[in-house]
Chain A
């Protein structure tokens, strides 16, 4: 008998290679949005710096969110098609089943972000980040991807069908637009501005923005880390209890 976690991971990786549309969606959509904002709207926004330098951190976050729809659908289809029940009756550790999905989700995110950053460079992205700053960005990305991954796995387990699971992930895809991802929060109207300032994605984006500018902001980083840990914890506990309860 091999380690259950390894077996599950191998299964999830096979899924990624055999279902390229979901990876394509996760990789291509953020790039298309980047091209759209940078070429079409970029000049219209006055953000004080080159728009591509402003937008890239936000688009990195957006890329994480776009990968989540596929994760939610995949988890839900395991649940509703009885595959999770099959694993449960076989006494496969629940950790292994769920971790497999989270790791696959993080991996999709990392691929998408690598592609996105590559395209950003082609568009003239010129960050002032040092190697340490880049490691910091990588850390934020992984932390965010793990947190969003657990939360999405919980969403996927709770949804009635793969379609509703995909829909449940839509707010996560929309949320970055109501943060400082595309335009600074102070440019938004009242109400929306406060929402943008206090929602979890803004400190996460600002942390990455600071790191990429070579001037990381400690307060942002602490708030961002706290949000990620909180989201991961809620997602993890919710996923575990749904996994145990739902048959």
Chain B
């Protein structure tokens, strides 16, 4: 399989603030690569550099086989970009927005109207095609935005936080659209703040923290590196916590919160075993909750910014 994007030693700083501190990654053609990180990690800067909107300060990047610094035109001809905020023209209708893209796209020759009609159909925007984009809901805007990106049939698509701010239903729609794109052989570079999203969509995930890639791998590989699902038991007294800690030697304790974190898969079977063990020791937890790993846990584990409880 060939590489759609290869970045090495990519650096970017705004004045003296380093945003990307030498990142390396490779995206294979026809796969989904997700850059996962919190706000301010450098995700949008990475997208801006890869899509030729910004110049890197150092390092090399090849997109679709072309160098982003010296062959920007060839790169632009191969890519489509959907930015973080739906970049639709609000005064134009959905149809006019798409037609504008067809008129401007050098890859579209003569069949613009057919392409526009197909995209409206595919994204279920036909009924709203004649209405101004300013009247569209957030989900519809994102769909229109993505449809506009697809007008020139790009081989590589960049999606910068495509579902941030969307309701769960629109998010699922967006996910299935991305999955359809990949089924058609398109390469997708996606940034997200949500582990769940990366998990759902990405073949490979890279975790970005303060301008550095702190981990890379498949979703399963990453999850193995982070604290798994655990049950959190909270007690009323320190004596009870001590007793419980003896009963669950594998658990970690948080003295301040009088809580114990017991590793487990969150399934009913392991939960029952846990409750049985509490009974055996005549212990009563005031509160019991099941935690599945989220982005916070990933960061905790990968960046070393641990909480007091974890240091114990």
Contact = CB atoms under 8 A, between A and B. Distances in A.
Interface stretch (A10-18, A41-49, A130-138, A152-160): A10-18
Contact of B104 (A19, A90, A247): A90
A7 B83 contact: no
A1 B51 CA distance: 23
A19 B87 contact: no
A82 B105 contact: no
A14 B97 CA distance: 12
Contacts of A90: 76, 101, 104-105, 152
B89 A11 contact: yes
A1 B105 contact: yes
A86 B76 contact: no
A109 B79 CA distance: 39
A interface secondary structure, majority: helix
Contacts, number: 64
B52 interface: yes
B14 to A, nearest CB: 11
A17 to B, nearest CB: 9
A119 interface: no
Interface residues of B, number: 33
Contact of B91 (A14, A82, A91): A14
B54 interface: yes
A1 B111 CA distance: 10
A83 B90 CA distance: 10
Interface in B90-149: 90-92, 96, 100-101, 103-106, 108-109, 132, 148
22 contacts: A1-B106, A1-B108, A1-B109, A11-B92, A15-B91, A18-B92, A83-B87, A85-B53, A85-B83, A86-B81, A86-B83, A86-B87, A88-B52, A88-B53, A89-B52, A89-B53, A90-B104, A90-B105, A91-B73, A91-B76, A91-B77, A247-B53
Interface of B: 48, 51-54, 73, 76-77, 79-81, 83-92, 96, 100-101, 103-106, 108-109, 132, 148, 152
